[in-house]
Structure formats: C-alpha cells, structure tokens
Structure 1
Amino acid sequence: MKRLILVIAVATLFSCNNNENKTPATNIKDSVVTKKTNTDDNPTQEKILENEFKNFITVLTSKDKDKIKQLFKFPVADSILNIYLDYAHTISDAKGVITEEAFLKNFDKVCKFWMVDEFASSFKAMQLDSLSQGKEIFYEEPSDKIQPCYKHCSLIFKNDILHFTYGINRNPNFNNKVKPGNGEDENVCDETSIIWEFKFDGKKLVFIRQLAAG
C-alpha cells in the first residue's frame, strides 16, 4: 500500500512539472505573434513616409497618364506645375493655368521633360530606409572621365515638407578633348534639375508644386 501511494505521488509530481514547462513556451509564442501584429498595424511615421514616396516613384515611372494626373488637382497654375518648355505656352491658357485636358494632350512631351525614362534606375538606387525629419538622402550616379555628365537625386525632409530633386550636372572630371575655337560647342552638358515638393500630413504626401531649373 505504501508503495502504491509513493508511485501515485511521483506520477503527480511529474505531471505538474510537465505542465509548468509547457506554459512559458505558449506565452513566448503568443508574445512574438502579438509583437509582429503590432508592428504591422502601427507603422512609424518614417515608414509611412518611405512607402508614400515609393508609391509616388512607382506612379511617376509607370508613365500611366490616368495615374499621374491624380497627383494634381486640375486646373493647376503653371507657376505650380512648372513645365519649362518651348511649347509651355501651348499647355497653359491665357489665365496661366493648366487644365486636365491640356495636360493629357501633352502628356508624352511632359514625361520626356521630366526625364522619367532616364532616371527610373536612379530613383530605385536611392536608399530610403533612413528617410526621416531633418535628413538628406543623396544619390550620385558613378561617372568617369569619359562621361561629360552625371545624374544625381536628393531627398530632404524638413518641417514636414519633402523636397525631391533630380537632374543632370556637368562632370568636373570629364576629359574634354575638344579644343576651344574649333567650332565645337564647349558646353557638352546641359545642366538641368527637376524639383518636386510635397507636404506630409502623417498619412500621405500632398503635392505642393513642381519646378524646373537649368
């Protein structure tokens, strides 16, 4: 009888120990799942901004006129959507505004002016994971002495305003073999910049203006 009681006591103790060992594992699993869910449901402001900018680049490089036109609220003042072209006067009317109809009619020319094709790969090369308030992200295309120009992109986020600039600069290391005075144009590179400005309201990017320089 004593031996039977001892066996039951040992079995009960072993069962309790097993239950205690299983409990922490379940809690740890639940904790990990909860943490992952919270991260997905509550992204940081920096992550939202990064995703919004990536979405803008996706739309811009798609060259889909129906998607790109949604960036603007037409009619747009030509001083805000600054398409600096020889035919710019044909896009804006006498009141200095660009209508949706005029924008779509000249869409291919506008995309060419924005240099969408030339900069698609440069946009994707930018490291956006460090985008935050007061930060500047800069990307410069590698160049050598045989290239007269190089491409550059920069992002500055300050006071909730995102400044996005991209363009072409003259390569200071370019080895120009053309001698002055032989009739050749010494200005082998036309410097130009396209500038976009957005307001970040914490949830999305809101277009402010687009400028051109060069």
Structure 2
Amino acid sequence: MACHTLRNSSFRSISAFSNLAGSSSNSSVRISRRTASLHSGCSRRAVRISSEDRLQVVQFQRQGFVFSRLAPYCGWQSFAEEALRLWQTYGELAQPTVIQRIGLRFINRIDCPREGFALKDYLVGSPESPASLPLQREMFLHEDTFRVSGSDYSVHLIRTVRLPQPNADRLSLILGIDVFAAAEELNGDEALRKRLPEMRWLKNKIFFSMITLKAKDLFQ
C-alpha cells in the first residue's frame, strides 16, 4: 500500500484511512516543506489514502502534505484536529526541516434557481454584460490573487458558475478561496495551530463579503 520504509506505529495513527483513492475536496490543508533527505527505499512519489467512507483524503508527498474533506463538512474543530494529527504522522515519516508554504482552501457551492437567474442577485460586484447588446451569459469564470496588507498572507479567489444539466432546475455558483502564506517562520506545531484559525477567519471574512443576502439564505 505504501513505501516499505513507513513504520508500523505510523500506520496505526492513520488506521481510519484504508483505501488508496482519489477525490476532489471541499476543504483542504496543504503544507509544502523541505526535507533533509529522502527515503531511498521508497519508489512512490506520493501516497494517497482515503477513509472508508471516502469523505476524507490524505496525501503524503515527497514535497508536501495535503489533507482534504469532502461534503458534508464536519465542522472546523474536527477538521483542524485531524489535519494536525495527520501532519504529525507525516512529520515522523518525512522529517521536514523547513515549512515553505501553508495553504487552507475551501470550495463552496451555492445551488441557485435556474429560472430567472441573475449573477448580481448572488455575487457582490458581479460583472454585467454590455447593455447595448442582447447577450445571454453562457459561462462565468473570474480569478484573482490578492496580498493581505500588514501580513504575509495571500488569497487566491475563483468564482464560477457551473451550468446545469439539461432539464435541471438549479445551477451552482462555485466560490473557491485559497488562503496561503509562504514564510520560514511557520515551523513548529504551535505555529501551525496559531495560523490555521487565522486563515479560517480570513476565509470567512472574504466569503461573506462576496455574496449577497439572497445567497446567504441559500447557503444556510
């Protein structure tokens, strides 16, 4: 299932993850690092393991660690605790010397009625089509990266609309928010425990500033 250099004690700490599987994520923590050495006996570049219900996925990579949770979201406390627990297991195996980047990404989907849909009703500051032409929007995709003043955080935003299947009565507004920091001061579990709540607060602040009251009612 994994490289033979992994210790049995480390396998016990990830015993809830039993299936090698791939999956997209609704929320994820990604930590990139630099290591002192690589295990010469390991032929895999990454190990990808899912829980039995396939709602949680952890990736142990040579250049980093990723923990993801699919919907339904289990709540911040349990998500953060599980991410930190698995990060400690990864640390035992990979022995990282420097954390180069930490990222927290949430992908939020808001299902909106298809009939009479107008982007401005759900997304603050949404672009409008030229008024002089009878245009009908066929797709929407907007991408930005911002630096947060007074901090080492940056934010990458993706806003898009997923077109509905034929005869479907709803379409989906997708908001992807990736908060990340690249700094060598991130080392140590205590630093990570401090950073994650800060990044979650920033993510929430951005998310609720982007959507209208009508969208908030649908998101509850």
| TM-score, normalised with respect to structure 2 | 0.28
* Higher relative strand content: 2
Q: Which has the higher helix share?
A: 1
Question: Looking at CA atoms only, which structure, 1 or 2, has the larger radius of gyration?
Answer: 1
Q: Answer 1 or 2: higher relative contact order, Cα 8 Å, separation at least 6.
A: 2
